[in-house]
Every structure is written in C-alpha cells, then in structure tokens.
C-alpha cells in the first residue's frame, strides 16, 4: 500500500490509458489533487486500491469513424451544391442590377425630356398669350397670323420630337 503522487500523464502510463482518461478516472474516484511547482496537477493515489482495466478499442469506434466520415462527405457535397446555387443567385442579382441601372437611366432621360417639354410649352403659351393681346390691340393682323402659324409649326415640331423620344 504505497501512496504515490503522480501527474495525469504518469498515472495514465501506469494504467495504460491516456492522460485524459487518467484525469477522468481521478475525478470519478475523487482522488486528492494538488498543483506542482511547475503548475501541473498532481494526484495522490494508491495504485493497489485502484482496480482499473482499460477497455480495448471497440469495433463501435471504427463504425463511428466510418459514419462520421460519410456524414462529412455528404456535407461537402451539400456545400458544393449550395455554392453552385449561390453562384446562380449572384448571376441573377447582377443581371437584375444591370437592368435596374438601365431603367433608372431611361427614367432620368424621360424626366429631363418631360421637364424640357413643360418649359417649351410654358414658353409657347406665353408667346401665344402675347400674340393674342397684340391681336386685340394691334391692327396688323397679318403679322400676328404669321407669328401664330410659326408658333403652331413649332408646337407640331416639339410634339413630334417628344413622340420620337
């Protein structure tokens, strides 16, 4: 009955188990523990009282490894499929983004043309109003009629330009 003070790795070497298993065994058996000067855990143990037989590696562990390997392979396949799907979605996004940019440019162009047409219409309406007041006050009807004809031609030409744009 000799009591020894061992580290987990030394205890594991004596019992033919890993240091992690030795630590687990020490905790399970509630063996007294302390710290060495270098910071390692020391366990006070009487090896004669410990009846521990290490379990041989079971075939279940090999089956678990095979199962995990197949699961990892399946996950790799799923990741590849998701990456391909994401690439397709990215291409759709880029296409729609380009389309939206084109539509925005067309909208800005149409807005500018509409503003120009409104300004031209306001200018022409002002000229028509001036000509009407002149026609009422001025005796030279020929000049007024000629100017009204020119204004009508300008209106028709502006209307044609707007229809083409």
Q: Given this model, what pLDDT does residue 156 score?
A: 80
Q: What is the pLDDT of residue 151?
A: 79
Angle (CA) 58-63-64 rounded to 5° is 95
pLDDT tens across 83-110, in order? 999 999 999 999 999 999 999 999 999 9
CA distances from 157 to 25, 89, 127, 161 (A): 99, 47, 16, 6
**Per-residue pLDDT, 57:** 62
* Separation CA 12–CA 6 (nearest Å): 9
Decide: 12 and 19 in contact? Cβ < 8 Å.
Answer: yes
Strands 3-7 and 41-46, how do they pair? Answer: antiparallel
Residue segments in the chain with a per-residue pLDDT below the cut of 70: 1, 54-62, 135-136, 138-144, 165
């Amino acid at each position: 009955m000799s009591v020894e003070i061992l580290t987990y790795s030394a205890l594991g070497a004596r019992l033919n188990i890993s240091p992690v298993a030795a630590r687990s065994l020490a905790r399970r058996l509630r063996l007294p523990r302390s710290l060495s000067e270098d910071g390692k855990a020391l366990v006070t143990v009487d090896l004669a009282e410990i009846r521990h037989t290490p379990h041989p590696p079971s075939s279940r562990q090999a089956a678990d490894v095979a199962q995990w390997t197949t699961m990892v392979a399946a996950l790799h396949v799923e990741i590849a499929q998701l990456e391909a799907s994401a690439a397709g979605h990215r291409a759709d996004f880029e296409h729609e983004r380009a389309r939206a940019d084109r539509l925005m440019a067309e909208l800005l162009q149409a807005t500018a043309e509409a503003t120009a047409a409104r300004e031209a219409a306001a200018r022409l309406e002002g000229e028509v109003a001036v000509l009407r007041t002149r026609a009422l006050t001025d005796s030279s009807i020929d000049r007024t009629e000629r100017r009204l004809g020119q204004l009508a031609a300008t209106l028709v030409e502006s209307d044609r330009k707007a229809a083409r744009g």
